[in-house]
Amino acid sequence: MYQAVIIKKGQGGWGGPLVVKPNDKQKYIMSVTGGGIDPVAQKIADLTGATALDGFLSSAPDDEIACVVVDCGGTARCGVYPKKGILTINLTPVGQAGPLAKYMNEENYVSGVKQVNVSLFDGEVPEGETTKAENGGAKKEDYQKIKSQAKASAEKQPGFVGLISRIGKAVGGVVGKFYQAGREAIDMVIKNVLPFMAFIAMLIGIINVTGLGTLIANTISPFAGSLPGLILISIVCTIPFLSPILGPGAVIAQVVGTLVGVQIGAGAIAPALALPALFAIDGQVGCDFIPVGLSLGEAETETVEIGVPAVLFSRLITGPAAVLIGFVLSIGMYS
C-alpha cells in the first residue's frame, strides 16, 4: 500500500505544492541528480513506500515513474519532465526557465525542495493525474476538430471569393510564422540570454575592478595558453565522476570560457588557441544529461544502463582528441 506525500517549494523555490502518490504501476521515484540517489528522493521513496532509482544507473519507462527529482540549474531537465507530463521536483530553486519553460506549471513542478519540504499527506488524494491529462487531451482534440472544420468551410467557397480567401490565408499563414518566430526569439533572449549576460557582466566587472584579473591570469594562462595545458584541462573535465558534476547548464564551461576570453583579449593567450580552448573547457558537455537525453531518444532501460558509462568513458578518449582536432584546425587562424 502506497502513502501520499506532499512536497512544498523550498526557500526561493517556485511551483507546487505537489502531491505524489505512487501506485502499482507508477512505483518509481527517479533521481536524476548525477551522483547517487538524492536524500530528497530517498525520503519521498521511504515515506510513500515506492522505490527510489538512480537515473544514471537504471531507468524506467515514463509511465512507471511517480515523480522525478532533478538538480537542474534552469536549462533542460527542469522542463523535459514537465513536458512529458511527469511530476518534477527540482532541488535547485529555479522558476519557469529554459527553452521548455512553457510546459512547467504549479501542478507539475516544484523547486528549491529540501528534505524538510517533504511530508506525509493525509488529505484525500483525487485520482486526478491521469484524468486531468485526458481532459487536456480531449480539449485539444475538440479544438483541432473545430479548426479543421473552419478550414474546410473556408476551402469550400467557390470562385473569386474562394481564391482571395485562399491567398489571404496563405499570406496570413506565412506572416503568422514570421511573427511567431520573432516572438520566440524575444522570449528566448529575455528568459535565457539576458539573465546570463547580467551574470557574466557582473563577474567581468568585479574581476576587472578588484584586480582578481591578475590572479586569474596567473592561474589560468599557464594552462589555457599552451596545447599540453589545454589537453590537461580536457582530461580533468572528462574524468567520469567529475564530468556529470561539471555539466549542468554548461555554467562552468561558460564562466571558464569568459575568463579565457578576457585573457585572450588582454593578450596573455594567443588568439589561435581560442579554438582548441573551446573544446578543452567543454569535454564534459551533456554528461549531466545522458539518461534524460537517451530517454528523449526513446531508448530502452538497458540502453540507458550501458549507455551512461559508455559515454562517460568515451569522453576520456574523445575529450583530449577534440582539443587536438581543434588545434589542427586552428592552424593559420589569426596569424
Partner 1 sequence: MDFLAQLATNFIGLFQAGGETFVGLVTGIVPLLIVLMTAVNSLIKIIGEERVEKAAKFSSKNFILRYTVLPVLAMFFLTNPMAYTFGRFVEEKHKAAFYDSAVSFCHPITGLFPHANPGELFVYLGISAGITTLGLPVGDLAIRYFIAGVLVILLRGIVTERIYAVMASKKANAGVK
> Which residues participate in catalysis according to the annotation?
72
For partner 1, the binding residue among 4, 57, 125, 188 (CB under 8 A) is: 188
Residues 279-308 within binding reach of partner 1 (CB under 8 A): 279, 281-282, 285-286, 289-290, 292-294, 296-300, 303, 306-308
Q: Which of 9, 43, 15, 14 is nearest to 29 (CA)?
A: 43
- Among all chains, which residue has been given the C-alpha cell 591570469? 217
191 CA to centre of own chain: 14
The alpha-carbon radius of gyration of the chain (Å, integer) is 25
Residues within window 25-64 making contact with partner 1, judged by CB under 8 A:
none
Footprint on residues 78-97 left by partner 1 (CB under 8 A): 79-80
State which of residues 204, 227, 232, 245 lies at the interface with partner 1 (CB under 8 A): 204
Pick one of 1, 124, 152, 178: the residue that binds partner 1 (CB under 8 A). 178
Shortest CB 201 distance to partner 1, Å: 4
* Count of residues that interact with partner 1, criterion CB under 8 A: 93
Q: Which is nearest to 4 in space by CA: 21, 18, 17, 16? A: 21
Beta bridge partners of 29: 52, 67
Min dist. Cβ of residue 160 to partner 1 (A) = 27
Nearer to partner 1, 153 or 335 (CB): 335
Amino acid present at 271: P
Count of CB atoms within 10 A of residue 33's CB?
26
189 belongs to the binding site for partner 1 (CB under 8 A): yes
Residues 303-332 contacting partner 1, CB under 8 A: 303, 306-311, 313-315, 317-318, 321-322, 325-326, 329-330
- The single residue listed with the C-alpha cell 522570449 is 187
- CA distances for 41 relative to 14, 195, 312, angstroms: 18, 30, 24
Residue numbers 130-159 binding partner 1 by CB under 8 A:
none
- Cβ nearer to partner 1, comparing 142 with 300: 300
The residue (of 134 and 187) whose beta carbon lies closer to partner 1 is 187
Taking each helix axis from N to C end, the angle separating 301-329 and 227-238, rounded to the nearest 10 degrees, works out to 170
CB of 44 to partner 1, least distance (A): 25
Q: Which residue among 146, 164, 167, 197 contacts partner 1 (CB under 8 A)?
A: 197
245-274: which residues touch partner 1 (CB under 8 A)? 249-250, 253-267, 269, 271, 274
Could you tell me which of 96, 100, 94 has the C-alpha nearest to residue 79? 100
In contact, 68 and 81? CB cutoff 8 Å: yes
Question: Per rule CB under 8 A, is residue 182 in the interface with partner 1?
Answer: yes
Binding mask 98-127 for partner 1 (x = CB under 8 A): xxx---------------------------
Coil, strand or helix: which one is 235? helix
Rank residues 7 and 80 by Cβ distance to partner 1 and give the closer one: 80
Identify whether 99 is preceded by a cis peptide bond (ω within 30 of 0): no
22 binds partner 1 (CB under 8 A): no
Strand partners of residue 67: 29
From the list 252, 250, 277, 253, the residue with the least C-alpha distance to 263 is 277
